[in-house]
Chain A
Amino acid sequence: MINKVVENAIVATADIPDNATLMLGGFGLCGIPENSISALLKKGVKGLTCISNNAGVDDFGIGLLLKTRQVRKMISSYVGENAEFERQLLSGELEVELIPQGTLAERIRAGGAGIPAFYTPAGVGTEVAIGKETRDFDGKVYLLESWLRADFSIVKAWKGDTAGNLVYKGTARNFNPMMAAAGKITIAEVEELVPLGELDPNQIHTPGIYVHRIFKGTGYEKRIEQRTTR
C-alpha cells in the first residue's frame, strides 16, 4: 500500500500557495480540520477562496483566517455566526457566494465524481436561479448547477490509516467525504492514525484513493457552538 503519512499540518499544507481554492470540511465547528487551519494561519497564505458550508465563528475555525484577512472569497450555504465576517462583507473586503446547502454538497460530490453539471429543483424561482439554465423534466422545472473542485481539499476524520482510508464519527462526517474526492490534492487530518489492516474494510467511509496526505492531528479543541443539555 502507498504510504501517505506526513509529519504534521505544517508539512501537509506547506505548498498551498496564495490565491489557492480550498475546500474545508465541517458543519459549523463540527468536523473541521483544526490543525490545518492553525497551520494556514501560521503560514500566512493570502487571497484564499474557501469552499466550506460555514465560515466558523469570530475566534475559531475559518473565522481565524477571516480575522487575519487571508480569505478573499467564501463559498458557503450559511454564514451567520461571525461578526468579523459581517463587517468585511459590508465593507466589500470579502466576497461571498451563497449556495443552497444540498446544491453545495452535490456540486462538490459532482466535482469528485467527474460530473460537470446536474439539474436540481432547489432554488428554482429564486435569486439563486438568476442567469442559470432551467429545464423541464416530467412537468417540473429544474436548475442546471455545475461542479465544484478545489486545488486543495482539507478534511478531518476520526480514524485513518497510512493508506489514507478514513472513518468519520457522528455528524462530523458532513461535507468531508465529498470534499476528499473533489480536491486535486487532499489533505486528511485524523484523531487516530492506525497501521494498515486495523480499519475494517467494510466500514471505510472515504477510500484512500482520494487522500494524498494524512497526518495525526493534536490538541483538538472541538469547540461546541450551542451546548444544549436536558
Chain B
Amino acid sequence: MIDKTGIAKRIAQEVRDGMYINLGIGIPTLVANYIPKNLNVVLQSENGLLGIGPFPTEDQVDPDLINAGKQTITMMPGSALFSSAESFAMIRGGHVDLTILGAMEVSERGDIANWKVPGKMVKGMGGAMDLVASAKNIIVAMQHCSKDGASKLLPTCTLPITGLQCVKKIVSDMAVLDVLPEGGFKLLERAPGISVEQIKNATAGKLVVEGEIPEMMIN
C-alpha cells in the first residue's frame, strides 16, 4: 500500500507539459509538490486565480490571496485573477485540461460520490459538482477501502452522487485503474507489495485484468 504522498506522487506522473489543472482539497493539493520541474503547467483555483504559486513566506502572507481551501498562497509570474463566474465559465467551458479530486466512492461507470454522508452534517458541494460535470479529464485520488475494509470501488455508488460517468482514472493506495467507457475498472498498476488477488478482493465493482500488471514506479 502507498500513503497519501505516494498517491500524490503517482498522480503527478499523469501531468503533461502545457496543462491547465484544477486541484481539489486534500491529497490533490499535495500533487502540486511533485509535478516535474521541467513541465510548464498552470494551476487553477476556482475562487478566481490561474497561476497558483507556492505557499507564502511569513512576510508574503496576503489575506486577499487564498486558494479554494482558504489557505494563503502566492501567485506565479503571469497569473490572472477573475471572478467566480469567470472561473466556472472556464471550468464548464472545458478549458481546464485536468481535474484532480478526492472521492468517497466511485462506481464502475465512473460515477463519483464525494460531497455528502447521510446522517452527518452536510457542508455543501462547493465547486465539486460543476467540476465533475464538465472536466475533460478527471483523476480521482482515494483510499481503495474504508477503515473497516469495505470497497469504495463499487458497481453503483451508495452515497449521494456528485456527478455521473465522469471519472476517467483512479489512483488509490492499492492500484492505478482506468474507468472503461463501457463500464468496469481496468487494472493498470499495483502498489508496491500488493498482489492482483488483493486488489480483486478489495474491488466490489467489475475489475478487468489483462496480462501482467506492473508495479507503480514511485520515487
Contact = CB atoms under 8 A, between A and B. Distances in A.
Interface in A76-102: 76-81, 86, 89-90, 98, 100-102
Contact of B125 (A27, A100, A168, A175): A100
Contacts of A31: 64
Contacts of A29: 63, 70
A9 to B, nearest CB: 19
Given A86-B121, A101-B126, A169-B64, A125 B56 contact: no
A108 B85 contact: yes
Contacts of A100: 125-130
Contact of B47 (A104, A109, A122, A171): A171
Interface string B155-196: 000001111100000000000000000000000000000000
A122 B127 CA distance: 9
Nearest to A226: B71
A176 B83 contact: yes
A78 B92 contact: no
The size class of the interface chain B forms with chain A is 35 or more
Contacts of B91: 102
Nearest to A89: B121
B69 interface: yes
A161 interface: no
A194 to B, nearest CB: 18
Nearest to B57: A230
A174 B68 CA distance: 11
B49 interface: yes
23 contacts: A30-B64, A76-B124, A79-B124, A80-B121, A86-B121, A100-B125, A100-B129, A101-B130, A102-B91, A102-B130, A105-B85, A124-B133, A171-B45, A171-B48, A172-B64, A173-B48, A173-B81, A174-B84, A205-B83, A222-B63, A224-B61, A227-B61, A228-B56
